[in-house]
């Protein structure tokens, strides 16, 4: 049967029948395993990704396991496409019980999107910011927003100069986007009336699709780690299914029904960096995110 995230997360008895979940970046890696697990728990799963063939394969796996699924294709680097994805989701359902902001990217060279924003920040932070904005009125009072962050956030100093790419550092840009995920979650939890918002660290998952756009050196390094025997990497390298455990826990567990604005690792609450706990910085990031995207939250 293989490793099942819902079993390891202790939520295999949770019944999500009648609920709808959107998982971004669900065509491979942690997102795929999250989508499959939510499907096995009975949810109708909206599978998002860029690769149509891979998306249809995941959707078919969910259908074959007795669940229901719909695939949506979108490149989250373009804000116009993020808005369109939200419109497509709204057209398919009157309520969205779970939104898992899982999609992410790690890019080796600096690049500005057509919106004039550094690409890592656009994909990893602004896309979830806009998507959650566009769908928040579809979340019921007991709805949940789960955003996948990373322990790499601890490298970030909290500066968000994202409209230029001078002295670009790929890992630094990734860390900046991940601390933004946590700050976004804290401020989102403060603003949402009813639905919960939490974020998590999935562990280090070298076989994840996250690294497909990284530099050749990084791709080679994580490729080697992904192929090493489990007894050599246990404890510091996670499989995609292991990486999905905390996302699935936050999406389904009754233990977090009333938890808001928290950061989790290995299905337990964890303390993020002091930068990530700075609520003044969270509000400033929120305002600059509105300015960059043109959306305005109530």
What's the mean pLDDT in 190-207?
87
Handedness of CA 64, 69, 71, 76 (dihedral sign): negative
Q: In the predicted model, what is the mean pLDDT of residues 7-26?
A: 98
pLDDT recorded at residue 108: 86
**Overall size of the chain counted in residues:** 298
Q: Write out pLDDT tens, residues 218-266.
A: 555 444 444 545 443 344 456 899 999 999 999 999 999 999 999 999 9
Tell me what the mean pLDDT of segment 74-101 comes to.
98
Percent of the chain residues past pLDDT 70, beyond the cut: 88
- Phi, psi dihedrals of residue 288, rounded to the nearest 5°: -70, -30
DSSP 202-259: ----TTSGGGGGS-HHHHHHHHHHHHS-HHHHTTT---HHHHTHHHHHHHH-GGGTT-
- Provide φ and ψ at 8, rounded to 5°: -65, -30
Running DSSP on this structure, what letter comes out for residue 97? Answer: S
pLDDT band at residue 204 under the 50/70/90 scheme: confident
Check residue 86 and give its pLDDT. 98
- Average pLDDT for residues 113-124, to the nearest whole number? 97
Nearby residues of 225 by Cβ (< 8 Å), 6 or more positions away: 206, 233, 237
How far apart, in Å, are the Cα atoms of 101 and each of 47, 116, 184, 233? Answer: 12, 22, 12, 27
Q: By the 8 A CB rule, do 86 and 132 touch?
A: no
pLDDT in tens, 136-170: 999 999 999 999 999 999 999 999 999 999 999 99
Chain-centroid distance of CA 6 in Å reads 17
What order do you get walking across the sheet with 68-73 strand by strand? Answer: 68-73, 44-49, 20-23, 98-101, 144-148, 196-201, 263-265, 268-270
pTM for the full predicted model: 0.91
Q: Which of 168, 174, 249, 263 is catalytic?
A: 174
> What is the SS3 assignment for 99?
strand
Which structural domains are found in the chain, ordered by start?
5-292 (3.40.50.720)
Question: How far apart are the C-alpha atoms of 43 and 16, rounded to whole Å?
Answer: 5
**249 part of the active site:** no
pLDDT band for position 216 (50/70/90)? low
- Confidence (pLDDT) at 226: 47
3-state secondary structure of 173: helix
- pLDDT for 233 equals 37
Burial of 36 (0-12, 13-18, 19+ CB in 10 A): buried
Cβ distance 149 to 180 under 8 Å?
no
Q: Which of 40, 63, 5 is nearest to 238 (CA)?
A: 5
Q: What is the pLDDT of residue 298?
A: 78
């Amino acid at each position: 049967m293989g490793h099942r995230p819902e079993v390891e997360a202790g939520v295999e008895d949770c019944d999500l029948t009648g609920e709808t979940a959107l998982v971004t970046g669900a065509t491979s890696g942690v997102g795929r395993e999250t989508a499959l697990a939510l499907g096995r728990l009975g949810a109708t799963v909206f599978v998002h990704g860029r690769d149509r063939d891979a998306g249809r394969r995941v959707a078919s796996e969910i259908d074959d396991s007795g669940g229901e699924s719909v695939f949506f294709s979108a490149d989250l680097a373009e804000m116009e496409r993020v808005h369109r994805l939200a419109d497509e989701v709204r057209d398919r359902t009157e309520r969205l019980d779970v939104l898992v902001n899982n999609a992410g990217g790690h890019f080796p060279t600096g690049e500005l999107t057509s919106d004039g924003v550094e690409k890592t920040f656009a994909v990893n932070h602004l896309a979830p910011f806009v998507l959650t904005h566009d769908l928040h009125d579809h979340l019921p009072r007991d709805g949940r927003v789960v955003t996948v962050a990373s322990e790499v956030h601890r490298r970030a100093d909290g500066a968000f100069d994202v409209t230029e790419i001078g002295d670009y550092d790929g890992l630094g840009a990734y860390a900046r986007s991940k601390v933004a995920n946590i700050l976004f979650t804290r401020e989102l939890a403060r603003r949402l009336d009813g639905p919960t918002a939490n974020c998590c660290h999935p562990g280090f998952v070298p076989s994840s699709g996250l690294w497909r756009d990284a530099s050749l050196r990084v791709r080679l390094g994580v490729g080697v780690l992904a192929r090493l025997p489990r007894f050599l990497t246990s404890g510091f390298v996670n499989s995609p299914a292991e990486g999905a455990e905390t996302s699935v826990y936050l999406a389904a567990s009754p233990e977090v029904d009333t938890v808001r604005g928290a950061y989790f690792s290995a299905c337990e609450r964890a303390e993020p960096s002091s930068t990530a706990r700075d609520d003044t910085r969270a509000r400033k990031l929120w305002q600059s995110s509105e300015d960059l995207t043109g959306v305005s939250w109530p």
